[in-house]
Structure 1
């Protein structure tokens, strides 16, 4: 069995002079579908998706951003934040990029699944049902736990650039 891998882009906006750190807000998405419909904590993710071994991770990150949000990925520079292993075993690689994005402009991609289970009914659900800008402290509470490491790495990386 091959290792499942995902790649994604973490959009961020820099803080103003009154803010506590180098990042004011990050863009995260609430996972779509019935499993996450009534959940908040742990049901948000960095826009990302799976890719096959023959695809370059950066190409996958850009492709998945467009598939999940329905918008072209922002131009770089892309800051590598490395990878984390989620509790489900999936290895996630993320790049940060400073950019603006209007959440109202998002047109999420969809996926199909049988719902309810064993019903024979196939339904379509959004990959991400909403996105929002939020400060890193709030994002840490909402994100899939392993992905919070990317927030620390981004703050450290930007802290060294200032």
Structure 2
């Protein structure tokens, strides 16, 4: 089973918590929006520690290096069967300044022409309500878990005692 590791960056604006998500680049994702955004993540190199991979991938995809402390989140399995290990970190960066690594594919298909695309073509800060609409459905649980871990008082129910 393939494994990826990533970082879910978050910040508190004073009014609410926002989550940093990225949109995959390239022609296959050009017209896809809701449900296609993701945390910055990538596949582990042989013998690489997962947290080191998560930090490396975040830097490669955004140009920003997330800082400790890291909050471990539950591992998820994406639809294609890939296992995603994730940590959260507080941080702040301007989405307009991201610098992403690139990849090369034959485009258009069977044209014999190679074209280069950014791995990430867009990034942004989103409220919880916005983020759950945009993020890959299998990653929603990462947002939910982090929200519960960083919210000082978040009752799930109110019970009246008689």
TM-score for both structures, normalised by structure 1: 0.89
Task: Compute the RMSD of aligned alpha carbons.
Answer: 1.6
Give runs of aligned pairs for residues 51-66 of structure 1, distance below 5 A: 51-66=44-59
Mapped to 1, the partners of 2:97 and 2:25 lie a distance apart of 17
Q: 2:132, 2:82 → 1: CA distance? A: 19
Instruction: Confirm or deny that 1:117 pairs with 2:115.
Output: no
Q: What is the number of equivalent residue pairs in this alignment? A: 154
Whole-angstrom distance in 2 between the partners of 1:25 and 1:51:
27
Unaligned runs of 5+ in 2: 155-162
Question: Contact (CA 8 Å) 2:58, 2:66: kept in 1 or not?
Answer: no
In structure 2, relative to structure 1, the CA distance for the partners of 1:76 and 1:121 (3 Å cut) is: same
Q: Deviations over 1:105-140 (max 9, x none)?
A: 211111111112222111111111010001011111
Instruction: Indicate yes or no: 2:24 matched with 1:26.
Output: no
Q: CA deviation at 1:103?
A: 1.0
TM-score by length of 2: 0.89
CA shift at 1:160, angstroms?
Answer: 5.7
Q: Gaps spanning 5+ residues in structure 1: where?
A: none
Q: Which sits farther off after the overlay, 108-117 or 145-154?
A: 108-117
Aligned to 2:8: 10
Partner residue in 2 for 1:67:
60
Asked if 1:154 is matched to 2:146, the reply is yes
1:68-106 deviation digits (Å, cap 9, x = unpaired): 1123x1211100112100001111111110111111221
Q: In the alignment, what sits opposite 1:78?
A: 70
Other structure's SS at 1:92 match: strand
Larger Rg: 2
2:84 is equivalent to residue 92 of structure 1: yes
CA contact (8 A) 1:67 1:109 kept: yes
Q: Is the 8 A contact 1:10 1:94 kept in 2?
A: yes
